[in-house]
Amino acid sequence: MPLVCGAMHYWRLEPRAWAPGLDAMRAMGMRVVDTYVPWGQHEAPDGSFDFGEKNPKLDVRRFLRLVHEREMLAIVRPGPHINAELTYFGLPERIVWDPACQARTPKGNPVMLPMVPMAFPVPSYASEAFHEEVERWFEACGPLLSPLRWPDGPIVMVQVDNEGALYFRDAPYDQDYHPDSVQLFRSFLRAKYKRPSALRAAYGDDAASFGTAEPPTRFDATKAEDLPRHLDWAEYHEHLLATAMDRMTAKLREVGLDGIPTMHNFPLGEAATPLNAQRLSGSIDLVGLDYYHHATPGEHAVLMRRTTELAVRSEGREVPAFGAEVGAGFPPFFAPHDEKDSLYTLMAALAYGLRGFNLYMAVERDRWIGAPIDPHGRPRPLADEYRELCEALARAEFFSLRRRAPVRLLVPRSLRRLARVSHAFGPITPAVFHVVGAGFRESTFEEDLGGPGAMAAEAFVRTFERALLARGVPFAYAGGETLDASTLGASWIVCGTATGLKPEVLEQLRERAASGCRVTLGPVVPTLDGTWRPLPRPADLGGLELETLDDAARADALVARRIEELGLPTFPIDPLDLHVCVHEDAAGAARLVFVMNPTSAPASARVSVAGPKELVSALGEPVTYARNAGAFEVPVPARTVKILEAR
C-alpha cells in the first residue's frame, strides 16, 4: 500500500471529532494516519501519566483503535522531541528547566531557543540525565502502544525523535558543551585517531591527548593546519546525533515497539545541519524530509536539489523517498503559505521523485491555519483537490513508476562540514541560508585556507546544474557519505572537489569509473584529506576526468558531448524558467509528465518528450495536447504544476 499519509493530533481535538476526521481523511485518499504522542501532554505535574484515564482527549489507545476499525494504518511519533508547535516542543516543562538536561554554550550557559510563544532551554542529546528521563517516558508509553502494532493494531512505523538538528540551534559553536557531551567528544576522537600520536600530528599540538581534548568554541582557523580540530567538531555533532538516535531506538524496541520500521524526519535546510543520513542508517530505517516551501523560482531550486538527493539515496536503499511532513497550511508564526504553495510543493516534490508523503496537517487544530479538514472533521474545498490528486496518482500507478536520473551531482560531506564551521553569520543557523536557496558563497567566511574550498566546489557543481537544465537532461544531487547508494545506476557523476577530500570518496569514484560510469571532478585535485590534513600520497585520479571549468561554455560543451556519448535522455522545455520531469514504467515508456511553473506569471510551455503521441491532463477536466512540430504546447498557470498522462 502506498505511503500516503495525513497528520491528525488526537489530543488537540474533541474525541467526538476523531471518527469524522478519520473518515474525511480516508475519503481524501489517505490510508495512513500520522500522530505524535506528546510526552509533555501525557505527563502530569506530579510526574504521573494520563493516557485517557482522567482526560478523554489523551486516550491514544482509543484513537488508534478507531484507526484500525477503518482499516487504516498509523505512524506514531513519541518523541521525545516532537515540536508540533507546542510550547517546549512537547517536552515536560520540568525537563527543559532541569540544568542537568540542558545543552550548554561554550561559556556553560543553557542553550536558549527563541521560539514562539516562549523561549526555552533545549535539552542535550548527550546528557545522561536527559536520556534517563526519556527512558522513563518510553517505559510509560511503549507498553500501551505495543499491543497496537500491525497486524493486531494499526501501528506500522515508529518515529524516533523529530527534526534532530540540535533543536534548530545547530550553528557549529552554539552547542553542545555539556560535560557529558565533552566526554563523548573525547571518546569520538579516541575512536577516530586510535593513537595519541595521531591526534597530536593532526592538531599540530604536542600536548594534545584524548583525556583532555577541548572542543573549539569559535572559528579561529587562519590556515589549513588549523582546520582539523574544527572539522572534527562538525563531524562529532553528526556522531552525537547518531549516538542519541541509536540509544532511543534501542529503548523503544526494548519497551515493545520492535518488529516495525523506524523513521526520522530531516527539517528544511538539512544539508547545512549535522544530520547525516548515512550515520543514522544503523538504527533508522527510513529518513524522510520536511517540506514547507513557497511556489517561487528560488524555492523551487531548493526543493529540486533536496528531493532528488533524497530520491536517489532512497532508491539505492530500496525504501520509498518519503515526505515526512508536507505542509498543508502553516502555523500562525510562519510566513504565510497559501493553497497554491501547499499544492505546488507536494506536486513538485512528487515530480522530482518523492514516493510517499504525509500531509501535515490533514486535520486542523490549534496553532495551525489552512488544513483541508476542519477540527470537527468536516472537509473544506481544498480536500477535493488532494482527493483528486490521490486518485490521479492511483490511476497512473504512480508509485510503481520511476524518474530516471542518469547524471548525479555529488557534494562530498567534507564540503558541508567545512561550510558549517566557516559559517559567517554567528548565531544565525546555516540552515536558514539553505532554506532560502543561498549557498556556500553567500553564507561562509573563507580566507586562504590552503587552496579552493567549499565555495569553489559548489560553484563547479552549480555550473553543471545550469548546463543540464538548459539541455533538459534529468539529474539528481547525491550526498557524499551515501555515495554507494546514491550513485547506483548513474551514467555520469560530476563531483565538486576542494583542496580537501576524503580518500575514500576518490576510491569509490574510481570504482564507479571502472564499472563504466563516466566521472568528472573539479575544479582542483585534492591535496588534503577530508579534515584538511596532508594526504600520505598524491591523489590517484586513475579513470577520473579533471575539469577546471574556466567558463560556463565549457560545462555546456561537455554536457552536449555526454548526451551524444552516453545517449542521455533529454526533455527540453521552453521557456527555461519552467521545469519538466518525466516518469517512466518498468519498460522505459513515459507514463506521467510533470510541467512546473514556479513563476508569478502564466506561461505556455513547449515540452519535448519522445514517445507519446499526446498528453492528457490528469487533474480536472481532461484536456488533450497533441504533438506539434515535435513538441507539446502546454499552458501552465502561475505557481502551478500540471500532471499529464502520456499516451
- Decide which of 376, 396, 416 is a domain's last residue: 396
Say whether both 450 and 469 belong to one domain: yes
Say whether both 310 and 411 belong to one domain: no
The residue type of 157 is M
Stretches where the chain sits below pLDDT 70 are 427, 441-442, 445-451
Say whether both 381 and 432 belong to one domain: no
- The neighbouring-strand residues paired with 267 are none
At 641, which CATH number?
A: 2.60.40.1180
pLDDT of residue 504: 93
555 assigned to some structural domain: yes
pLDDT of residue 454: 85
Burial class (CB in 10 A: 0-12, 13-18, 19+), 506: buried
222 assigned to some structural domain: no
Rounded Cα gap, residues 323 and 287, in angstroms:
9
- Decide which of 526, 551, 566 is a domain's last residue: 566
Query: Quick check: 238 and 279 in contact, CB under 8 A?
Result: yes
Say whether both 631 and 522 belong to one domain: no
288 assigned to some structural domain: yes
Say whether both 116 and 251 belong to one domain: yes
482 assigned to some structural domain: yes
596 assigned to some structural domain: yes
- DSSP assignments along 210-224, one per residue: TTT----SS----SG
Peptide bond into 151 cis (omega under 30): yes
pLDDT of residue 518: 98
At 493, which CATH number?
A: 3.40.50
At 11, which CATH number?
A: 3.20.20.80
Angle at 460 between CA 228 and CA 535, to 5 degrees: 30
Query: Quick check: 268 and 158 in contact, CB under 8 A?
Result: no
Rounded Cα gap, residues 285 and 157, in angstroms:
10
Residue-number span of the structural domain to which 170 is assigned: 3-174+246-396
191 assigned to some structural domain: no
- The neighbouring-strand residues paired with 357 are 4, 323
Per-residue 3-state assignment (H helix, E strand, C coil) for 567-619:
CCCCCCEECCCCEEEEEECCCCCEEEEEEEECCCCCEEEEECCCCCCEEEECC
Say whether both 362 and 290 belong to one domain: yes
Rounded Cα gap, residues 609 and 576, in angstroms:
15
219 assigned to some structural domain: no
319 assigned to some structural domain: yes
Say whether both 250 and 310 belong to one domain: yes
Say whether both 378 and 459 belong to one domain: no
Say whether both 441 and 513 belong to one domain: yes
How many domains would you assign to the chain? 3
Peptide bond into 110 cis (omega under 30): no
391 CB-near residues (< 8 Å, 6+ apart):
29
- DSSP assignments along 385-437, one per residue: HHHHHHHHHHHTTGGG-B----EEEEE-HHHHHHHHHTBSSTTS-HHHHHHTT
DSSP summary character for residue 281: T
* 580, three cell numbers: 519538466
Rounded Cα gap, residues 402 and 373, in angstroms:
31
pTM reported for the whole predicted model: 0.97
pLDDT of residue 116: 87
Say whether both 382 and 483 belong to one domain: no
Say whether both 558 and 586 belong to one domain: no
pLDDT of residue 442: 65
What are the backbone dihedrals phi and psi of residue 634, each rounded to the nearest 5 degrees, phi first?
Answer: -125, 115
Peptide bond into 180 cis (omega under 30): no
* 260, three cell numbers: 516495525
- Decide which of 366, 396, 426 is a domain's last residue: 396
Quickly list H helices, 472-570: 483-486, 503-514, 552-566
pLDDT of residue 428: 74
Say whether both 391 and 332 belong to one domain: yes
